Amino acid sequence: MMGILYEKITFTQELKKQIMIRQLLDAGVREHDGKHVSELDYYTLLHVLAMQKLKD
């Protein structure tokens, strides 16, 4: 049972990550700290996106 829950959480987090990447790319943000946005982990993406939204 825990395996299924873990898979769902991981899948959901991956979908959210892809949405955040798309939002950053649409806003013209391609990289952060020398890494392409697609290489960033979920929490870093969340931070970068929040900072980007504060700028707008």
29-46 tens-digit pLDDT: 999 999 999 999 999 999
Prediction pTM value: 0.84
Burial class of 44 by CB neighbour count within 10 A (0 to 12, 13 to 18, 19+): middle
> In the chain, pLDDT over 90 holds for what percent of residues?
82
Q: 32: which strand partners? A: 35
Residue type, 56: D
- Residue 48's Cβ-side half-sphere holds a number of Cα atoms within 13 Å equal to 26
Q: How far is CA 24 from CA 7, 15, 44, 45, 46, in A?
A: 26, 14, 12, 9, 10
